Structure 1
Amino acid sequence: MDSLIQAQRRPNSMFAIALFALIAVAGLYYVKWSPYYHRAFVAADAHSIGHSILTGTMQMPPAASWHAALGYASAYGKAIWQAMVLGLLLGSAVQTLLPAHWVARVLGGAGLRSVAAGGLMALPGMMCTCCAAPVVVGLRRQQASPGAAVAFWLGNSVLNPATLVFMGFVLGWHWTALRLVLGVLLVFGGGWLVNRRATPAEQSAAREQLDALIASSQQGNSFARWLKLLAQMTLRLVPEYIVLVLLLGAARVFLFPHVGPEVDNAIGWILAFAVAGTLFVIPTAGEVPIVQAMLSFGVAAGPAAALLMTLPPISVPSLVMTARAFGLRVQAMLVLMVIAVGVIAGLAAVALHF
């Protein structure tokens, strides 16, 4: 009887894996790979990939208002909605269509190997922090280690190959080199530090939860469970996400009250821009035109470099979306690490005379 049940499950499992692969490859090609390939030629020819989503064609963000909130949310939504749909599809699919032990086998270790795997797996994704968040939630629920999930999350935006290319053509290849060096430090070093902080009790609980996942995955129809989980994740994550984007859109002027020559290379400005960049939310590669615009308005290289490192990896909305997956302690570490790397980037840009 057991062998008959296993024989029936094997075709269903193979179909589920094939469906996951199809969604991942076709979705990433349509949403990311093809558009970014063509956008690279635009960046090379025009040395620009568009206006700053932070200020548009103006020097300063608009005053806080309902109009400012809606304007930013609309521009941001148009830029990311397809990637967010893909993120929700993959975040739910990784929990239902893949064998329960796969994620834990590749990303569940407490050492550097799982962190390296998570960071490398992020490179084809090229998602912004919020669109990658549902996938990160899914990986954590499948018992990926905290460090591996962090490396995957940060790697999507910080080490995005397309963004690095855009940056080279628009800002200069020295900016790309700065981002790449410090990005590797943040993604892999940050993930390793997070894993080092995991307690033996947390590791034991993860093993017990994995056993429960394997048992539950053998019950019911994978496709039905996927659709149910997709609906649950959408209803839980999207409303709070929209509210937070609206609030940040209205609050732009408070996070960036000065954009001009008065923003010099003083450590206070570098730290202020590092904190603001850590909190604010942007679409994929949005930091490139933001930094380009700020440099054109006279902002010094130090604060601009701090933004280059802190805008992509995390934001208030993405932190809220992943709060249950990581917990307060890990998220506090992430915030401090991103701010620290932003300050290091600003000081490095000053020292290297960017």
Structure 2
Amino acid sequence: MTSPALPGRRRTPSSAAAFAVCALLLTVGLLLWSKWLPYTAKVDQLSGTRAWSGTSVLSGAGIEAGSGPSLAAGWEFTKVYALAVWKALVAGLLIAAAVQTLVPRRWLTAVLRRRSGPSSALVGGLLSTPSMMCTCCTAPVATALRRSGAPTAGVVAYWLGNPLLNPAVLVFLVLVAPWQWAATRLVVGLLLVVGGSALVARLAGERVPAAAVEEVAGQHEGGPRRFLPVLARMSAYLVPEYLVVVFTVGTFAGWLFPLGESARSWGVLGVLVAVGLGALLVVPTAGEVPLAQGLAAAGFGPAVVGALLIALPAVSLPSAVMVVGALGRRVVGWTLLVVGAGSLLSAAVLPLL
């Protein structure tokens, strides 16, 4: 079932091109500030040390594996996570507002809507690689793309491709971890972003949630005059629910990540726990690296590490909550299941390398 046509005021070709150029320049500037320059510095540092600096977001918040719920832990986790991602979140919200107001919808659909699901997913995955955002910070952009009429396969691929195909994280893994980690992440990530996104689109269909259609229908005109209202509205509902869910995850993080020393003997159960709960826990960009290294140093096998290399960055409970209004429960549900299957594949592949 194809997406319904989404209304919008016609623009002259010259104004449409001017608005699109503004959106492009804004996006490049934001990514340069929030991602490209910091990651270039990080690569330079890791090239010299060959060792990851800093702790995981769980350790930074003082959360131990298997610990009970704690409001204080939830608050500390929220602060640590917010400090790690605030630049990317600001960039994601601004880029999302630009997508909805400055880029003509017909241009977006022309780029992302291809003859087949895998082709749309491939384009979405390619577009995601320069962004290099974590799953939560890319959620506003994925929401904006869907509300602008982009197809399911392309939007899901963009959402998953940001964390899974992040070129900076792949370089980080090459510099500080065994080469098998980067190879597994790249191969399974490509399969998930292209094949998995196309599968999600086939299983879930192309229906746009009614709320998303109504919101776009309420935007009677695009252009710079709509930019600030759209940004304010998007921030007003996305940021509070994002912080509430992150706080909730932090409060129960000990239960959501119970892989302490006693879990080394869990075998297959440990892999299943890593897949299921790893997909709910939220980590910043490259946050899976210190967690995976810590578990490997503690004696966990490569199957658990392989599962976490996919499950931790690909999706999270906060990101799922943020996109469900635009993508719909069917798309989000199938995406979680497909990511789980990809994590199990990663858990099977890494021990073989």
User: What is the TM-score of this pair, normalised by structure 1?
Assistant: 0.89
- 1:121 to 2:127 alignment: yes
How far apart are 1:324 and its partner, in Å? Answer: 1.6
Alignment of 1:57-206 (within 5 A): 60-61=64-65, 63-109=68-114, 111=116, 112-197=118-203, 199=205, 202=207
The structure with more radius of gyration:
1
Identity over aligned residues, as a percent?
37
Distance 1:95 1:59, change over 3 A: closer
Unaligned runs of 5+ in 2: 1-8
Distance 1:87 1:141, change over 3 A: same
Alignment deviations for residues 154-177 of structure 1 (CA, whole Å, 9 cap, x no partner) = 000001000001011111211100
Tell me which residue corresponds to 1:15: 18
Letter of the structure 2 residue corresponding to residue 121 of structure 1: L
Letter of the structure 1 residue corresponding to residue 93 of structure 2: L
Distance 2:195 2:229 in 1: 36
How far apart are 1:109 and its partner, in Å? Answer: 3.3
Distance 1:266 1:118, change over 3 A: same
Letter of the structure 1 residue corresponding to residue 312 of structure 2: L
The answer to whether the Cα contact below 8 Å between 1:261 and 1:300 also exists between their aligned partners in 2 is no
Distance 2:221 2:322 in 1: 28
- Counting matched residue pairs gives 340
How far apart are 1:327 and its partner, in Å? Answer: 1.3
Distance 1:343 1:15, change over 3 A: same
How far apart are 1:297 and its partner, in Å? Answer: 2.0
Give the alignment's Cα RMSD to 1 decimal.
Answer: 2.6
Letter of the structure 1 residue corresponding to residue 98 of structure 2: A
How far apart are 1:85 and its partner, in Å? Answer: 0.7
Distance 1:283 1:261 in 2: 26
Distance 1:58 1:67, change over 3 A: closer
Deviating above 3 A after TM superposition, structure 1's stretches of 4 or more consecutive aligned residues are 8-12, 56-59
The answer to whether the Cα contact below 8 Å between 2:102 and 2:222 also exists between their aligned partners in 1 is no
Unaligned runs of 5+ in 1: none
Alignment of 1:215-294 (within 5 A): 220=221, 222-260=223-261, 262-264=263-265, 266-294=267-295
Distance 2:111 2:14 in 1: 23
How far apart are 1:241 and its partner, in Å? Answer: 0.4
Distance 1:110 1:136 in 2: 21
Letter of the structure 1 residue corresponding to residue 55 of structure 2: H
The answer to whether the Cα contact below 8 Å between 1:319 and 1:331 also exists between their aligned partners in 2 is yes
